[in-house]
Structure 1
């Protein structure tokens, strides 16, 4: 009885071991390629296969074959380069790239560059292209012609990266700075330009004020001449007319006042009258 039970347990253990071994073999023969990835198969006898494997679960021969997973989604890269301009000024530039591998060329990329292909290629060709492009421009042109500089860097870098099986979706210069001496010289130039503009404005203002003074003086001179001519033509009549108008205005003003009374100045012959101010309180 004990022997039968022992044989049964041994059989169960062998079955479990067989099932476990089979499950391990099946599990090792399966691999999964997630979304946004591709796989390259390395065969111990045939080497790297020329085709790539797309997303999903796939079979391989354990030990004999090995999958190498690549991420084919766009990834950002940034690096800084110090380059010399055409007028021998040193410029610091930061370049940002968005890159991804050319999927059909993944086997070649793996054989020639490995899985860290972008870290090996992009900084070197980026510095090379930046130095070549920046050397074609003067320091001030890098600011005034920045779109042209960026476009030239993008075109040159895209062509160089394509030789290594790398696709660039975007290339941008995110930072640009000059050396201390050049920055100081630019600042002094800007200050001088502002001072020149201010001086120009002061000169224009003085010129306008001078013209206004001349026009005003000419107008006053013309007015005085007209009055003098009129006086000469009309004799003392014009002067008497102005005196009468002034006296009439004064009399009208005094008449509108509430505390002003009229008292005859003479013996009632209709002569001159005096205007007397009376205290309203009385």
Structure 2
């Protein structure tokens, strides 16, 4: 009797363990910011996309593939040529995410590593097509136009694969060594030309200033000569009086110097012997 009870309990325990295992494999979780696609061994990829939460599936028959639908960054570097045959090295930073309703199609055609399969190829294609329309100098001076065209074309190409590009940034734009050296030499030559022009302009201004000063001195000399010719004695007397007034002011400010009016002499004030 006891053996039968133990046997029943053992079978019950085994049944509960199997049931718990089956229940555990029948549940799966979809976290926030994720979606799931169900693969059925008999029906293939189901068209319905499973949202967040805990869900059931048929063990060993169905499998859940979890996709992250939040924006993720990816950097892609491309080496291409410009319109004037200069080597250009460009790096793009892309924020991308899949369209949730397109996940079954995305899994069927590209798999789980869709970003590695799609983004480098379409970025390479779009950058080569856009950069080939500009010269090397235009790529520098018209960088915003280049970035806008790349963004428009790349967004359109990505939409064909069920991807949304939230942001596209041109983070690096470099050229070959020869072009870089030529640009540096051109900048140095422009700086030297600006410096030489400044020296020439400065010399011209100094020349003009000297001419104006000489003309002023000549006019002053002419006026003085005319004044001396018209009333020479009066002008000399005026200059003498001005000089005497200036000397008197200087002597009055000095110490240990006494000023006597004209016509007096210190010896006159001494007593007679």
Deviation at 1:248, TM superposition (A): 3.7
Structure 2 counterpart of 1:62, from 53, 56, 59: 59
Task: Show CA shifts across 1:120-173 (max 9, x none).
Answer: 000011011111111111111111111111111010000011111111111111
Deviation at 1:209, TM superposition (A): 1.1
Measure, in 2, the Cα distance between the counterparts of 1:107 and 1:230: 108
Deviation at 1:65, TM superposition (A): 1.4
Q: Tell me, yes or no, if structure 1 residue 39 matches structure 2 residue 36.
A: yes
Q: Is contact 2:252-2:259 (8 Å) kept?
A: no
Q: Structure 2 length as normaliser, TM-score?
A: 0.92
Q: Is contact 1:80-1:94 (8 Å) kept?
A: yes
SS in structure 2 at match of 1:209: helix
User: How does 1:1-282 map onto structure 2 within 5 Å?
Assistant: 4-261=1-258
Task: Show CA shifts across 1:38-83 (max 9, x none).
Answer: 1111112211111111011111111221111111111111121101
Measure, in 2, the Cα distance between the counterparts of 1:275 and 1:163: 119
Measure, in 1, the Cα distance between the counterparts of 2:192 and 2:237: 60
Measure, in 1, the Cα distance between the counterparts of 2:155 and 2:46: 27
Measure, in 2, the Cα distance between the counterparts of 1:159 and 1:274: 113
SS in structure 1 at match of 2:42: coil
Q: Is contact 1:84-1:134 (8 Å) kept?
A: yes
Q: Is contact 1:262-1:275 (8 Å) kept?
A: no
Deviation at 1:274, TM superposition (A): 6.4
Compared CA separation, residues 231 and 61, structure 1 to 2 (3 A) = same
SS in structure 2 at match of 1:62: coil
Q: Which blocks of at least 5 consecutive residues in structure 1 are unaligned?
A: 265-270, 277-282
Q: Structure 1 length as normaliser, TM-score?
A: 0.89
Deviation at 1:6, TM superposition (A): 2.3
Deviation at 1:235, TM superposition (A): 2.8
CA RMSD of aligned residues (A): 1.9
Deviation at 1:89, TM superposition (A): 0.3
Compared CA separation, residues 272 and 31, structure 1 to 2 (3 A) = same
Q: Which blocks of at least 5 consecutive residues in structure 2 are unaligned?
A: 268-273
Measure, in 2, the Cα distance between the counterparts of 1:252 and 1:36: 96
Compared CA separation, residues 19 and 258, structure 1 to 2 (3 A) = closer
Measure, in 2, the Cα distance between the counterparts of 1:48 and 1:253: 113
How many residue pairs get aligned? The number is 267
Measure, in 1, the Cα distance between the counterparts of 2:265 and 2:193: 69
SS in structure 2 at match of 1:140: helix
